[in-house]
Amino acid sequence: MIRQNPPIARVAGAGTDFAAFVQHIGVPSLDMSYGLFSEYPVYHSLYDDFVWMQRFGDPLFHRHVALASVWGLIALRLADDEIIPFNYVSYASELEESSKVVEDGCPGCAVSFSPLHKSIKQLEKAAMKIHMEKKVLQADKWGLNTRERTLKVREMNDRLMMAERAFTNREGLAGRPWYKHMIYASSDQDDWGTKAFPG
């Protein structure tokens, strides 16, 4: 069976290379791989090395070349797009789904989730607004004078780039001050797992 759309999930586990970027300072991050860890039987073992990969895992390094090509295309897109290709509308949708998981995990709790839902709706509204501003700016490449356009593009890119940092808290999570991200963090029971709304 060929999967048409690769699974995309939040990168939030603490035992990963990107944890310091996402969890501590709120920098959007990406982690990609081909296959599942179950398809890589020597993961984190004595045999997890170049020799095993060369002899058994990917002898002609086709997967490595393919993944490096995808990374290169992503780097080019991030560097060359006039406006950073971040979509916070989908982020709001993901938060709505995550809020349902949190609610379902708290049956009978005397807690109101309406402030959370209200905040997610506000994020969705702001994300839609910036998405529309982005479309207008991209469609009207020659309508504004060069300096005015450059400033508008710069301001939009700054907002998009700093959005993830707005989800961090200087004091960090209660009992885990190193973890600053208030939306996604590893579970306090499992450093490898992702937990939405860990605070």
Give the pLDDT band of residue 36 (cuts 50, 70, 90).
low
Do 56 and 199 form a contact (C-beta atoms < 8 A)? no
Residue 194 domain-assigned? no
DSSP 102: H
Do 26 and 168 form a contact (C-beta atoms < 8 A)? yes
One domain, residues 62 and 95: no
Residue 4 domain-assigned? no
Residue 37 domain-assigned? yes
pLDDT at residue number 111: 87
Q: Which domain holds residue 151?
A: 86-105+112-163
Model pLDDT for residues 55-110, shown as the tens digit of each residue: 988 899 998 999 999 999 999 999 999 999 998 998 898 899 889 988 888 888 88
Three-state DSSP at 195 gives: strand
Q: Return mean pLDDT, the chain.
A: 85
One domain, residues 90 and 151: yes
Please tell me the distance from the alpha carbon of residue 137 to that of residue 143, in angstroms, as a whole number. 9
pLDDT at residue number 197: 84
Residues, the chain: 199
